Amino acid sequence: MLRSKGEVADSVSMHVRLSDCEVGAATVSGFLSVDLTRTELVTLRETIELTPVFNGRSEARTAIQELLRSRARLPLRIEESVLAALARRIVPIDVPSAALRSKLNRVLSAAAASTDVALAQPA
């Protein structure tokens, strides 16, 4: 049960992890890991099917479909710019889509805040 806005932000920031995803031998920064329920994944899949083409659409579609096929509860790992483009395209027509858009916007805000904090710290 959520008690305050601060508690919401804390619970979201626990689920946001800027991760370094390995691609072969190289490391690529800028990926987000987002914990989504099955309902949220289905809503996201439906959103992708209805949206026009945007950069990263096919990668996002593939990642979501793989998570839906697997029975394990794994986080969605997706590039930050692709997640931002996808979040902008969610039309809140019902409660699940509105909740998903809000959740993704909070994840993106938390990631931006953690990036700002990391940039502000001296090396």
Render each residue's pLDDT in the chain as its tens digit; 123 residues: 333 344 333 333 333 344 443 332 222 468 899 999 999 999 999 888 888 888 889 999 999 999 999 988 889 999 999 999 999 988 888 998 999 999 999 999 998 887 766 566 665
The reply to whether 115 falls in a domain is no
Strand order in the sheet with 76-79: 17-23, 26-34, 76-79
In a domain, 91, yes or no: yes
- In a domain? residue 34: yes
Q: Range of 60's domain?
A: 5-100
Within a domain: residue 55? yes
- The number of folded domains in the chain is 1
